[in-house]
Copies of this chain bind each other. A is one copy, B any other.
Amino acid sequence: MKYMKKSFSEMKAYHSSLITDGIILNANESPYQPPKKIIELFNEEIKKIDFNRYPDMDEVELDKAIAKKFGIDAECVTSGVGSDELLDATFRAILEPGDEILGFTPSFSMYKIFAELTGAKYIPVLGDENNLFNIDEMIKMMNKSKAKAVIICSPNNPTGQYFKKEDLIKLIKSTNKLVLLDFAYIDFAEEDYSKDMLKFDNVIVYRTFSKAMALPSIRCGYALSNKDNIEMINAIKAPYSVTTLSQILATIAISNFDLYKEQISLIKSERDRLYQEFVKLGFDIYPSQSNFFYLKMDDKYNEILEKNKIYIRKFKSGIYRFNVGTIEENNKLIEVMKNAKKWCN
C-alpha cells in the first residue's frame, strides 16, 4: 500500500464473506431475533423518523435508558458504534506511541489491533496449560510493567472464562492504572457485576447490544464509568457516530430488557447441554459462562461440519470457537459431531 505510513506496513484489510445459508455459529451471535414486541415498537418509531436530520450526537435518550437500567447518572454513560468504537476511542485517548497495555491472551483480537493503531504495544499475559488466566499473575505483571492500562474480558472471548467479582475488585484496588473491563458477554454469566465496578475511578466498563440483546446488526455499544472518564471518551470518539435508527432500537431494547430473559436463559441451558454432550463425546472443550465454547480438535471435524453447512470459527489449525445455536441447530451439531467421532476414530 503505497501511501500507508511505515509503522503500519504490516496492517492488512480483513475480509470475510457474509454467510447467510446454513447453521452459523461463528460470530457469537444470538440465534434468536430480538423479542417481537421490541421490533414492533421499533416499527412504530420508524414512521416518525426525520431521515434528513443528523442523529442526536449526545444520544440523550439512549444514554438515559442505559443509565436507568443500571441505576446510575446518564453522565456516566456514552454510546458508540459497538463497544469497538468506545474501546478504540479509549485506546487513542490514553496510549502514546511506544506505550503498553496488558491483556490476557487469547482474548478479543481487536484489543491488539486498537493498541497498534495508536502505535502502542499490546503485552499478552498468558494463562496456564489450559489457557486458564490468573488474576494474581496479572497484578504481578501490572506492578512490574510500564503498562498504562490493563484490559480484561469477562467472560473472556474466546475461552469463556468468567472472573470472580472479588478477583476483579482485588485487581482494581491494587493499582492506579486504568482497568478496562469488557463485559460484552456478561448477561450469559452467573452475575452481571457491572455496577459494582463503577465504585472505582480507575475503571471503565464496556457493554454491547450485539450479544445477549441480539442486535449486532445495529452496531451499538456503551461505556460506563465516572463522568471524567466518559468525557475523555467523548472527546475522542467521532461525533454523530450512532445512527438515529440504532439509537431508537437500542433505547427500546434496553428499556425492555426483561423481555430478553427467556431467550437468555434458554441460551444458557443449551450451553450447559452442549458442554455435557461435547464432554461425553470426549472433545477437549472448555467450560464457559458465555454463549460460546473454545474447542481444541482435529481440523477434520471442521471439514465435516462445513460439509453439513455448519460454520464455526477457526482461529488456527486445531483451535476453534463456536456459539450456542437454537435447540434444533444444537441438536444437528451434536448429531454431526457424534457421527464424525464414529468415522474419525
Chain A residues within CB distance 8 Å of chain B? 1-8, 11-18, 24, 27, 29-34, 39, 43, 46, 49-58, 60, 81-82, 84-85, 88, 92-97, 99, 117, 119, 149, 178, 201-202, 210, 214-219, 228-229, 231-232, 234-236, 238-246, 249
Known: A52-B217, A238-B88. A60 touches B245 (CB 8 A): no
Cα(A247)–Cα(B318), bound, Å? 35
Q: Is the CB of B55 within 8 A of A232?
A: no
Q: Would you mind naming 15 contact pairs between A and B with Cβ atoms under 8 Å apart? A: A3-B202, A4-B94, A5-B95, A5-B99, A14-B57, A16-B57, A18-B58, A27-B54, A33-B51, A39-B51, A51-B249, A81-B241, A219-B240, A219-B241, A245-B245
**Which label, helix, strand, loop or mixed, suits the secondary structure of the A interface?**
loop
In the complex, what residues of B have CB within 8 A of residue A97's CB? 97, 119
Given A2-B201, A15-B234, 13 other A-B contacts at CB below 8 A? A11-B93, A13-B231, A34-B52, A46-B46, A52-B215, A54-B216, A55-B216, A55-B217, A82-B241, A85-B238, A97-B119, A216-B240, A245-B245
Copies in the complex: 2
Among the interface residues A49, A54, A88, which one has the most CB atoms of the partner chain B within 10 A? A54
Cα(A231)–Cα(B2), bound, Å? 10
Cα(A14)–Cα(B231), bound, Å? 9
